[in-house]
Structure 1
Amino acid sequence: MLRIADTRTGHLMEIPAAPRHLLRSCVHLPALGTGTGIGPVHLRVPLVGDVLARTAELNGLQVVTVLTTPELTPDQARALDRVMAVLGIHPPAAVGAHHPDAALGGPADVHVVAQGADTGDATGGRIEVGRVSTVLLEEGVPDPGHLLSPDRPDVLVPETADPLAVRLLLLHRPYATPVTVTGAALAEARGTLRQWRRQVADWAQEPSRPIPADLLRESHAALVEDLDVTTVLDLLADVAGRSDVPPGAKFETFAHLDRVLGLDLVRDVGHQHSPDRSTPG
């Protein structure tokens, strides 16, 4: 059973209410600024909704997600679909639904909203997602404040940034905590992804081993207790450097938890890596 910190009451609540095995989630896209692209400031809410759904599915629940949106132009709607796809956000059952209960098949168990957003008299739990701010990069480097150019809605900006680095950056802070997207933070996230993917590809060549019971228990406990993805990411960083965990078990741990993280950590499995000839010995 999942427990979230319901901002309506300030207490942890279980979702969905037992004994149902279906979670109805209503995610509310924040309003878009005039003439701006769609970026982290808007997509952190759908991203948290995606992690909620993935965590529920990992625990054997069925999930129906509806994404409510402000009025979007056709270009904005296409841009939203494209950016959600590159950030690994699973498509909701319905987008822009004005009557989410009908699309969900009943009242929502939980609403995922931007901090301070008004959902009227909607029932169900409420997850408030912290704000995202951005810092302009140096001259000649695209602004991380938007993933799509406002005048070219089908062009990803920048292509070399690895959009999943944005996902990692946003996931690395508790969902209610504000996040600042900077060039340095994105570079660090890209470096982490490259390193983990390289390590996962190497571990995949070793004999498979089961996930250690303590790692499985600790990671699942963190996820079901208010979506504590930060603890899971810290756990993976620790596991990667542990000599007492066999490579095959490291691979299984990373692959299993990536079902929630959605970082495509097994992407390089099966690809040969050239040896680093700059390293002595």
Structure 2
Amino acid sequence: MLRITDTRTGHLVEVPAAPRRLLRSRVHLPDIGTGPPTGTGPATGTGIGPLHLRVPLIGDVLARTAELNGLQVVTVLTTPELTPDRARALDRVMAVLGIHPPAVVGAHRPEAALGGPADVHVVARDAVPDDAQGGALIEVGRVVTAPQAEGVPDPGTPDPADTADPLAVRLLLLSSPHGTPVTVTGAALAGARQTLRDWRRSVADWAQEPSRPIPADLLRQSHEALAEDLDVASVLALLAGVAARSDVPAGAKFETFAHLDRVLGLDLARDVGHQRPTGP
């Protein structure tokens, strides 16, 4: 069972309603170029700001969580009118942030693309479109980029060489509950990069040990957190705790991180097989 808080009512609702096993998700990209009223922060070269990334990111986490729960998912991303350059920039930045491509982008007839009414609408807080009717509503909190924050990448111009590790942006945006505001600072991004480096190094080390099953309590806690309002922040905290536990075998740590990365999308097993030689 997957339940989210419908921000229209403040109550948890099951999506999709049982017994249907197909989740229809409609993600609404905020209007590009609207500036501070929608919480996008400073404009980038293409006008695509952090909030424009966080909304489809939460839609991606919703789809990944639903699939982990055995559901089929159809996601449609509806957008304002985009110039060809902005459309290409949006595709590029979603790709480098690990956001799975939606079934349709810019759909003018979303119900036809979804095969029926949306079960869930994912929207920016304070920018709910008029056509987000029916189904549950997930409002995504504002994202503000701190002025002159060093190390903040331009979301409209992702680095193809991945030298800045854009998945650190994904980690940072997932580290707070989806409805709360996020402030992007250089220090916060540096911390996210360090966490990714540490976790990937550890996962690569654990992969060299015999595999062990995921402890039942960890599997239950993580799945319950994800299924109860997409509580990714609790899952990240759980992983940090697992990494430090001496009573969990290395092989079980590897399986836990690899399994939950199916939702997190942080490429935590990227360094497996690329460890530096140890010993003299």
Confirm whether residue 129 of structure 1 aligns to residue 129 of structure 2.
Answer: no
Match of 2:93 in 1: 83
Structure 1 unaligned blocks of 5 or more: 150-154
Match of 1:45 in 2: 55
Match of 2:40 in 1: none
Paired with 1:84 and 1:29, the residues of 2 have a C-alpha distance of: 12
Contact 2:200 2:269 in 1 (8 A): yes
Alignment of structure 1 residues 33-182 onto 2, 5 Å: 33=33, 36=44, 37=46, 38-120=48-130, 122-137=133-148, 141=150, 143-144=152-153, 146-149=154-157, 156=159, 159-182=162-185
Paired with 1:125 and 1:110, the residues of 2 have a C-alpha distance of: 5
SS in 2 for 1:72: coil
Confirm whether residue 23 of structure 1 aligns to residue 33 of structure 2.
Answer: no
Deviation of 1:159 after TM superposition, in Å, equals 4.7
Paired with 1:69 and 1:120, the residues of 2 have a C-alpha distance of: 13
Contact 1:193 1:265 in 2 (8 A): yes
SS in 2 for 1:49: helix
Alignment of structure 1 residues 197-276 onto 2, 5 Å: 197-273=200-276
Contact 2:117 2:134 in 1 (8 A): yes
SS in 1 for 2:163: helix
Relative to structure 1, the CA distance from residue 39 to residue 120 in structure 2 (aligned partners, 3 Å threshold; closer, same or farther) is closer
Relative to structure 1, the CA distance from residue 158 to residue 137 in structure 2 (aligned partners, 3 Å threshold; closer, same or farther) is farther
Q: Using the aligned pairs only, state the percent identity.
A: 76
Relative to structure 1, the CA distance from residue 275 to residue 190 in structure 2 (aligned partners, 3 Å threshold; closer, same or farther) is farther
Paired with 1:268 and 1:85, the residues of 2 have a C-alpha distance of: 20
Confirm whether residue 187 of structure 1 aligns to residue 190 of structure 2.
Answer: yes
Q: Which amino acid aligns with 2:84?
A: P
Structure 2 unaligned blocks of 5 or more: 35-42
* TM value normalised by structure 2: 0.92
Paired with 2:195 and 2:67, the residues of 1 have a C-alpha distance of: 26
Paired residues in the alignment total 269
Post-superposition CA distance 1:183-222 (Å, at most 9, x none): 1100000000000000000000000000000000000000
Contact 1:87 1:164 in 2 (8 A): yes
Contact 2:171 2:192 in 1 (8 A): yes
Q: Which amino acid aligns with 1:130?
A: G
Structure 1 stretch 239-248 or stretch 32-41: which is displaced more?
32-41
Q: CA RMSD in A?
A: 1.8
